[in-house]
Structure 1
Amino acid sequence: MIGPELPPLTRAALAAMIDHTLLRPEATPDQVERLCTEAAHHGFAAVCVNPVFVPLAARLLAGTRVKVGTVVDFPFGAGTAADKARQAEAALAAGAVELDMVQPIGLLKGGHDREVAEHLRAVIEPAHRAGAIVKVILETALLTDEEIDRSARLAAEAGADFVKTSTGFGPGGATEAAVRRMRAAVGPGVGVKAAGGIRDYETACRMVAAGANRIGTSSGVAIVNAAPVA
């Protein structure tokens, strides 16, 4: 049950926080088209699709309020900073206005913070020049508490618009504890996106109560349909 400490999120309020996501490698154009139709119908914040489908999503969502998002250096974050920059530029040119990039996890864990920041800026700077936003995926299930704090602060200092828990392809997804740590690390001026394993209304509400203001999920329709209308 939803406890009294959780926000009474209505269907419209929750829909406006959801990134309707389809990142499976076997996703088809027909499935992307359905995703976009659902996003427009429910008033979701954005769709998040693989780069190959950005032009299709941009065409289908033209004239709606739904933003087109995609991923950069996904799901490992192990490419070079130049690789990330090229992917970001291509996605922006194709019509993406929200980029979810994976931080270089190994460099972060190795303590190479300066190099991590260079990777982040390689995406954040061109995105901001184009009027787009960037969400930095930390992959918190692979990080210690100290590493979550440090990577969230590095992302904020580099100019990230959001920090994000997970790719959904790692060893674990979003947890309330990780969301709270990320919110505490970045303060109120940077968004926190909870993603990975969020499949029902109660879980989504708990993530928002912990400090998330964006939810990444492939279960957006089921989640909002379970929410109160008003």
Structure 2
Amino acid sequence: MPTERELAATIDHAILKPELTRADVDAELDIAAEWGVFSVCVRPSDIAYAVSRLAGTGVAVGTVIGFPHGTTSTAAKVAETRQALADGAAEVDMVVNIGALRSGFDDVVADDIRAVVEAASGHIVKVILETALLDDEQIERGSRLTEQGGADFVKTSTGFAGGGATIPHVSLMRATVGEGVQVKASGGVRSYADALAMLEAGATRLGTSGSAVILGEARRVDAGEESTGAVDSGSY
């Protein structure tokens, strides 16, 4: 069972809701710094600000590309990626071209991923499949195309498509890709129990806005207290 610190090192704290004000963003960045998560995943327009505010905390800043629908052109995704890196992002989470994947246009999907990977110039790239919109065959194929495109992670969900990570989908993705590709479970990871289950299924990174709930419970477990199984129903 991971310690609080070990669990924090798996978390990308999501700060992506479109309605968030600057004060809301500040509060979330402070949570990320307080709990020592691996990174925050912020809206593209918040990258430079987040980098500045988190300077010296050890929390990395990531962002999203083609978010949340994945339907922007490859050229637009490439431009977004380059701008994100210029603004200080350390990692990017791109949304796959979902319609192309569902249509069986594998070359289109792989080329889209590969172009973002090349634009990222060695920075970590995670590919969001949006598993709630896919069947198992499409999830397997999307995972293979993620690997073929040279990305570092295959990721379940944006959290904005009416469904999130599930244990069967995380397990399927882990079984499909080789050891060189990691799995990120995102969307609906709201409790300590959720986090442990996703890690057990094969995820190595977790996307959540429920970091304080998850890590607060991990701290109680570290202290020898019984897990409450509490869930923050408002978490992404």
Settle same-fold status: TM greater than 0.5. yes
Task: Decide which of 132, 138, 145 is 1:141's aligned counterpart.
Answer: 132
Q: Is 1:164 equivalent to 2:155 in the alignment?
A: yes
How many residues were matched structurally?
221
| Identity over aligned pairs, percent | 52
- Structure 2: tracts of 5 or more residues without a match: 224-236
- 1:106-145, Cα deviation, whole Å (9 max, x unpaired): 0011111111111111211111x2x421110000111111
TM-score (ref. length: structure 2): 0.91
- 1:4 matched to which residue of 2? none
Q: Is 1:106 equivalent to 2:104 in the alignment?
A: no
Letter in 1 for 2:205: R
Whose relative contact order is higher, 1 or 2, with alpha carbons under 8 Å and at least 6 apart? 1
- Structure 1: tracts of 5 or more residues without a match: 1-7
- 2:109 matched to which residue of 1? 116
In 2, Cα distance between equivalents of 1:42 and 1:224: 7
Secondary structure, counterpart of 2:70 in structure 1: coil
Output aligned runs, 1:187-198, within 5 Å.
187-198=178-189
Task: Decide which of 166, 169, 172 is 1:181's aligned counterpart.
Answer: 172
Task: Decide which of 69, 84, 90 is 1:97's aligned counterpart.
Answer: 90
- 1:79 matched to which residue of 2? 72
Q: Is 1:20 equivalent to 2:13 in the alignment?
A: yes
- 2:35 matched to which residue of 1? 42
Instruction: Find runs of 4+ consecutive structure 1 residues off by over 4 angstroms.
Output: none
Contact 1:29 1:53 (C-alpha < 8 Å) held by counterparts: no
CA positional deviation for 1:38: 1.8
TM-score (ref. length: structure 1): 0.93
- 2:230 matched to which residue of 1? none
In 2, Cα distance between equivalents of 1:27 and 1:123: 27
